[in-house]
Amino acid sequence: MERATQEQIQLTVAPLHLCTDNAAMIGCAGALHLSRGECSHLTLTARSRLAITDYAQLLDLP
């Protein structure tokens, strides 16, 4: 925050209680998909460093 002030940059930071755990967000997204009748195969894996170009290929975008 101090550095942003020194550089005259407006810094916006979410409250700490909104930054501590992504599990709630992932759980909510999963529940939403499940409520739509969507599900993934058990062979689905996670990729923590997915490039945006790889993501576009997954969605079959140009």
**Residues ≥6 apart with Cβ < 8 Å to 33:** 39
Phi, psi for 12 (deg, rounded to 5): -115, 125
Q: Residue 8 region, left (φ>0) first, then alpha (ψ -120 to 50), else beta? A: left
State the maximum Cα–Cα separation within the chain, in Å, rounded to a whole number. Answer: 51
pLDDT for 48 beyond 80 = no
The predicted model gives 32-51 an average pLDDT of 85
Percent of the chain surpassing pLDDT 90: 18
Distance CA 4, CA 12 (A): 10
- pLDDT by residue (tens digit) across 20-37? 777 888 888 889 989 999
- Asked if the model's pLDDT at residue 41 lies above 90, the reply is no
Confidence of residue 61 (pLDDT cuts 50, 70, 90): low
Side chain identity at residue 4, one-letter code: A
pLDDT at 62 (0 to 100): 60
